[in-house]
């Protein structure tokens, strides 16, 4: 496992590189920097063409810019870093970089114009005249001429390779056209191999090999390579070594709970850099990464597919499934994993295949995603906030009558037309899902589908020195008592008795006809 090189000035505060994706600026402005250059040394030593997928705002652009400065031989920027003594600074390579991190890719004509403008700039900087009309031909020509002019092969970097496709997903015909256009452009990397020293494509998703990458089968995918799990993001060691001056006054355990937890099969999980930097700047916890943009289509997809929000914290996917991402064929697991709303909790080998258990990475994502789902359901965020605050207050005093009334209000607040227009309302998991999301939106400690020798408990909530064990049932007649009886007969409380906390069994029954709670029974054990 690669470790951050200790910072000799760790006791002195530095500038927080918030929003800075330029390696030169970070180094010259004496910003905090987590050294990732040891990963570069390994990449160069072991291969040539690479692909890396990570969620947005995870430091992909900064990593590419670091590569650019390194291959261009800007030695002073790397003094004191892991790669400095291992690099041949006498050799300088030309670098070409395509950047799709911004632009209106929903416009059918925009992608071609953007690529041609980027190629114009590259040709102008290299003093290479434009000799061809198509983007792939121009790029091939650039690679060849730069190699001939400098005597060194070219480094090819692509930032946010998939954004023109992802941005247009709500208009599939544009997304497919953008995918096909990029497929032709990226195939240049394969056919220009003789002129390329190193290449790296980065993005959020891993699109299907049978579509975008059909002409680019020489890429080494390091997305789920345990050796590169922390190539982007901060580890626990990084926070302690690099950001030590920022830690006093902040609860270290709370930092971990809020922001740590992303994992791509490595020995340890990592933090999203964007969250950490804004926490240190604002000195208070918030959903900084989440608030930078949760796509509406993600929420729509979860509701249209009847995805139970309880299931989000315990999903199972294969490596093949997590990579099955293409226009019109996006699996729920792949979308949530690749966009960073779920992460790998553990590997589960079964026969000759590997499966991965997925869950929320941390409190920020769990809490914020469930808030967004509830806002989407009710169409009334202000009412949802009022309900959430009331839920917290009632739990503090164990007012179970008040809780029953409040739960009935939860479901009554969902517009009738939503039920008539959405198949999810016919699923049993829908009722428990709404219920769970309200608790999760408060950031409470929740365990779903908690296993014991007696079976699987629907939901356990630990709060204020109390344990609340929930069982949910959909019934035909009110007050059947089946939910509470199951809690009693299977003795789910046994697992929690040794904790010394008060335990409350809560059986909740729902009616499809009334679309609401019809029984709410509580027993303290």
CATH code of residue 414: 3.40.1350
Given 170, 203, 228, which residue is the final one in a domain? Answer: 228
State the Cα–Cα distance between residues 340 and 59, nearest whole angstrom. 13
Q: Which of these ranges, 170-184, 340-354, 409-423, has the smallest mean pLDDT?
A: 409-423
d(CA 104, CA 109): 10
Answer whether 445's CB lies under 8 Å from 480's CB: no
Name the residue among 187, 114, 197 with its Cα closest to residue 150: 197
Q: Token pair for residue 289?
A: 């990464």
With a cut of 50, say whether residue 7 has pLDDT above it. Answer: no
More confident residue, 522 or 313: 522
Question: Where residue 381 falls among pLDDT bands split at 50, 70, 90?
Answer: confident
Is-contact 518 475, C-beta < 8 A? yes
- The predicted model gives 284-302 an average pLDDT of 86
CA count, 13 A, side-chain hemisphere, 386:
9
List all residues 6 or more positions away from 284 whose beta carbon is below 8 Å from its beta carbon.
none
Q: For position 323, what pLDDT does the model report?
A: 74
User: Is the distance from CB of 378 to CB of 491 less than 8 angstroms?
Assistant: no
Q: Which residue has the higher pLDDT, 303 or 346?
A: 346
pLDDT of residue 211: 62
Instruction: Name the E strands within 327-432.
Output: 329-330, 343-350, 353-359
Residue 198: its H or E element: strand 196-203
Residue 11: its pLDDT value, please?
Answer: 63
Listed in sequence order, the residues at least 6 apart from 238 whose beta carbon sits closer than 8 Å to its beta carbon are: 4, 34, 271
- Looking up tokens 């315990």 gives 314
Write the pLDDT tens digit of every residue in 111-170: 999 999 999 999 999 999 888 999 999 999 999 999 999 999 999 999 999 999 999 988
Looking at per-residue confidence, does 351 or 80 come out higher? Answer: 80
Task: Kindly report, residue by residue over 427-457, the tens digit of the pLDDT.
Answer: 556 778 888 899 999 999 998 877 666 678 9
Band of pLDDT at residue 8, cut at 50, 70 and 90:
very low
89 domain-assigned: yes
The DSSP annotation for 147-162 comes to HHHHSSPEEEEEESTT
Does residue 158 fall inside a structural domain? Answer: yes
Both structure tokens of 49? 């063409």
Does 346 map to a domain? no
Domain boundary among 211, 228, 245: 228
Say if 30 falls within a structural domain: no
Residue 406 within any structural domain of the chain = yes
| Residue with token string 């939910």 | 483
Tokens representing 406 are 């409040």
The domain that contains 201 carries what CATH number?
Answer: 3.40.50.300
Mean pLDDT of 306-334: 82
**pLDDT reported for residue 479:** 56
Give the CA distances from residue 456 to residues 308, 486, 492, 505, 507, in Å, rounded to whole numbers and listed in that order: 16, 11, 8, 14, 14
User: What letter does residue 105 receive in the DSSP assignment?
Assistant: T
At 417 the pLDDT is 54
Average pLDDT over residues 485-493: 93
Q: How far is CA 180 from the centre of its chain?
A: 26
pLDDT for 416: 59
What are the respective helix, strand and coil percentages of the chain, to the nearest 5?
45, 20, 35
Contact, 299 vs 286, CB < 8 A?
Answer: no
Alpha carbon distances (Å) from 365 to 53, 146, 303, 333, 369: 19, 45, 18, 15, 6
Strands of the sheet containing 343-350, edge to edge, are 315-318, 353-359, 343-350
**8 A C-beta contact, residue 53 and residue 203:** yes
Taking residues 386-395, report their average pLDDT: 94
**The two three-digit tokens of residue 426, written as one number:** 């016919």
Position 356 in a domain: no
Q: What does the alpha-carbon distance between residue 384 and residue 388 come to, in Å, rounded to a whole number?
A: 6
Considering 239-253, 324-338, 435-449, 475-489, the range whose residues carry the highest mean pLDDT is 239-253
What are the φ and ψ backbone dihedral angles of 172, each rounded to 5 degrees? -55, -35
**Cβ contact 469:460 at 8 Å:** yes
Averaged pLDDT score across all residues of the chain: 89
Q: What range defines the domain where residue 104 resides? A: 35-228
**Rounded distance, CA 180 to CA 203, Å?**
17
pLDDT at position 6, please? 46
With respect to residue 145, please indicate whether it lies within any of the assigned structural domains. Answer: yes
Report yes or no: 510 and 472 within 8 Å, Cβ to Cβ.
yes
Reading the block at residue 9, the tokens are: 């000035």
Please write the tens of the pLDDT for every residue from 47-65. Answer: 999 999 999 999 999 999 9
* Whether pLDDT at 100 is above 80: yes
Residue 421 has pLDDT above 90, yes or no: no
- How far apart CA 53 and CA 65 sit, in angstroms, is 16
Q: Which of 228, 243, 266 is the last residue of a domain?
A: 228
- Tally of structural domains, the chain: 2
Query: What is each CA distance from 83 to 50, 57, 155, 241, in whole angstroms?
Result: 19, 24, 18, 18
Element (H, E) at 374: helix 363-378
- State whether residue 15 is helix, strand or coil: strand
**Of 272, 266, 311, residue with least CA distance to 288:** 272
Closest CA to 22 of 101, 116, 115, 89: 101
Would 207 be classed as within a structural domain? Answer: yes
pTM of the predicted protein model: 0.90
79-102 average pLDDT score: 97
Average pLDDT over residues 58-74: 98
For residue 9, the model assigns a pLDDT of: 44
Percent of the chain with pLDDT over 90: 67
Instruction: Name the one residue in this structure whose structure tokens are 């309900």.
Output: 387
**Weakest-pLDDT range from 151-165, 309-323, 455-469:** 309-323
Q: Judge whether residue 4 has pLDDT over 60.
A: no
Question: Phi-psi bin for 233: left (phi > 0), alpha (psi -120 to 50), beta?
Answer: left
Task: Read off the tokens for 456.
Answer: 């699987």
> Is pLDDT larger for residue 59 or for residue 480?
59
């Amino acid at each position: 496992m690669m470790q951050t090189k200790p910072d000799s000035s760790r006791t002195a505060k530095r500038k927080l590189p918030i929003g800075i994706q330029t390696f030169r600026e970070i180094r010259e402005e004496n910003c905090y920097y987590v050294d990732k250059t040891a990963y570069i040394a390994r990449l160069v030593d072991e291969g040539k063409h690479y692909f890396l997928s990570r969620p947005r705002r995870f430091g992909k652009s900064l990593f590419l810019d670091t590569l650019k400065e390194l291959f261009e031989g800007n030695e002073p920027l790397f003094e004191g870093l892991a790669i400095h003594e291992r690099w041949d600074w006498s050799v300088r390579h030309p670098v070409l970089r395509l950047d799709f991190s911004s632009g209106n890719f929903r416009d059918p004509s925009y992608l071609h114009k953007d690529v041609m403008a980027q190629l114009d700039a590259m040709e102008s900087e290299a003093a290479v005249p434009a000799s061809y009309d198509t983007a792939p031909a121009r790029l091939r020509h650039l690679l060849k001429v730069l190699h001939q002019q400098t005597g060194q092969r070219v480094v090819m970097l692509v930032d946010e390779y998939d954004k023109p496709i992802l941005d247009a997903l709500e208009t599939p015909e544009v997304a497919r056209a953008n995918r096909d256009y990029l497929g032709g452009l990226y195939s240049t990397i394969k056919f220009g191999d003789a002129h390329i020293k190193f290449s790296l494509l980065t993005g959020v998703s891993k699109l299907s090999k049978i579509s975008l990458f059909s002409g680019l089968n020489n890429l080494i995918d390091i997305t789920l390579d345990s050796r590169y799990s922390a190539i982007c993001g901060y580890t626990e060691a990084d926070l302690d070594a690099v950001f030590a001056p920022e830690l006093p006054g902040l609860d270290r355990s709370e930092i971990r709970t809020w922001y740590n937890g992303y994992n791509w099969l490595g020995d340890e999980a990592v933090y999203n850099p964007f969250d950490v930097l804004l926490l240190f700047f604002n000195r208070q916890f918030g959903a900084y990464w989440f608030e930078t943009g949760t796509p509406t289509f993600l929420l729509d997809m979860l509701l249209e597919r009847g995805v139970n929000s309880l299931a989000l914290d315990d999903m199972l996917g294969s490596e093949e499934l997590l990579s099955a991402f293409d226009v019109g064929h996006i699996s729920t697991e792949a979308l949530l994993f690749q966009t960073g709303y779920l992460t790998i909790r553990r590997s589960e080998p079964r026969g000759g295949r590997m499966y991965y258990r997925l869950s929320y990475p941390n409190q920020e994502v769990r809490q914020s995603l469930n808030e967004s789902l509830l806002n989407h359901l009710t169409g009334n965020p202000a009412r949802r906030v009022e309900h959430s605050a009331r839920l917290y207050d009632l739990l503090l005093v164990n007012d179970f009558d008040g809780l029953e009334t409040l739960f009935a209000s939860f479901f009554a607040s969902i517009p009738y037309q939503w039920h008539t227009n959405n198949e999810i309302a016919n699923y049993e998991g829908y009722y428990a899902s709404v219920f769970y999301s309200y608790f999760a939106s408060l950031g409470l400690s929740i365990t779903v589908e908690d296993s014991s020798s007696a079976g699987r408990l629907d939901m356990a909530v630990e709060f204020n020195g109390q344990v609340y064990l929930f069982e949910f049932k959909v019934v035909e007649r009110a007050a059947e008592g089946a939910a509470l009886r199951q809690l009693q007969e299977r003795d789910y409380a046994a697992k929690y008795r040794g904790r010394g906390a008060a335990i409350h069994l809560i059986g909740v029954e729902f009616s499809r006809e009334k679309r609401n709670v019809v029984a709410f029974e509580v027993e303290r054990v």
